[in-house]
Amino acid sequence: MAKGENAKKRVASELQSEDGRLQEEGKEKRRKKKKAGEPRSRRQWLDKKFYEKELARLQLELVKMQYWIREEGKRVVLVFEGRDAAGKGGIIKRITEPLNPRGVRLVALGVPSDVEKTQWYFQRYAAHLPAAGEVVIFDRSWYNRANVERVMGFCTDPQYWEFLRSCPEFERMLTRSGIILIKYWLSVSDEEQERRFQERSKDPTRRWKLSPMDLKSREKWVEYSKAKDIMFEHTDIPEARWYQIESDDKRRARLNCIRHLLGQIPYEDVTPPPLELPPRPPDDVHYARPPRDAHLIVEDYYAGR
């Protein structure tokens, strides 16, 4: 335990040191903008160039973290919850982008089947828990019962209250078994959520993100807020705390989440050294490639670019 805490402190210290340098750079840029009389953005989006540079730095740390998780045989579960259009998918994408897909799994379950509805509520989620060396990310999770099912009337009152009683014990079981469980709630303002809904409605490539359930949720903003408050009251336990991320600015939300995640896992840099590749073998003089016209070659549609 002491070793893990020391590693956590070391990671936090290294990240904070870099944070300080970046904050000074940001202050200097803001002073120059103010001096030049540049107008301030209404939403104060994080600078794109800074975002991309910092994201690359944090993603390298994610790779180091994954190497450590595999070497130590750790099991990690990340839970992402929040309102519709809060940006869960974007954060998850930036976490998984640099990682070895053999060691990270995304779980986004649909509506339970008739058989699953007869099972213990947590059963279909437990089937996706990680093995040694794995990270499993739940894009929505067992907390569906405390949010959408409660607000939209898809569960009974007894089922709802039983969930709030059982969930803390379920999560304590996970953490006692050695699973590292980290839970994030993405918070978005009603104005920003509406803006994103409107954008999705107008963009054919993103329209699939709008479901009939999303449209109904627009009418139940307060109900969702109440459900979230009750959920936090019952399930924000010492063994598995809720961490809330303000996500009106997607760039800030992504960086803040990854930065926080790295500070929660006491990883060390066990990245293997570069591989020394042996010389390529000589050409086989007895092998002749078949003629090009013997294959179906996809046309280069952009040959003139």
pLDDT in tens, 3-21: 666 666 666 677 776 666 6
Residue 250 placed within a domain? yes
Supply the mean pLDDT for the chain: 90
Residue 297 placed within a domain? no
Query: Which segments of 73-133 does DSSP mark as H helices, in order?
Result: 88-96, 123-126
Contacts of 244 (CB under 8 A, 6+ apart): 184, 185, 186, 187
pLDDT-derived band at 38, boundaries 50, 70, 90: very low
Residue 160 placed within a domain? yes
Within 13 Å, how many C-alpha atoms sit on residue 158's CB side?
Answer: 0
Q: What pLDDT is recorded for position 39?
A: 39
Distance (Å, whole) CA 239 – CA 180: 9
CATH number at 102 reads 3.40.50.300
Residue 283 placed within a domain? no
Percent of the chain with pLDDT over 90: 79
Q: What pLDDT is recorded for position 42?
A: 44
Q: What are 259-286's pLDDT values in tens digits?
A: 999 999 999 999 999 999 999 999 998 9
Residue 294 placed within a domain? no
Amino acid at 9: K
Distances in Å between the Cα of 40 and the Cα atoms of 54, 195, 259 are 22, 20, 26
pLDDT-derived band at 89, boundaries 50, 70, 90: very high
Q: What range defines the domain where residue 18 resides? A: 2-110+120-269
pLDDT-derived band at 149, boundaries 50, 70, 90: very high
Residue 301 placed within a domain? no
Q: What pLDDT is recorded for position 218?
A: 83
Q: Which tops the pLDDT comparison, 17 or 53?
A: 53
Average pLDDT of span 76-90: 96
Q: What pLDDT is recorded for position 117?
A: 95
Distance (Å, whole) CA 26 – CA 210: 36
What total number of domains does the chain contain? 1
Q: Which two tokens stand for residue 127?
A: 């089937």
Q: What are 186-238's pLDDT values in tens digits?
A: 999 999 999 999 999 999 999 998 888 888 888 899 999 999 999 999 999 99
Residue 288 placed within a domain? no
Distances in Å between the Cα of 19 and the Cα atoms of 55, 223, 244 are 13, 38, 20
Residue 292 placed within a domain? no
Q: Which two tokens stand for residue 37?
A: 């009389």
Average pLDDT of span 15-35: 60
Q: What pLDDT is recorded for position 41?
A: 43
| φ/ψ (deg, to 5) at 182 | -125, 130
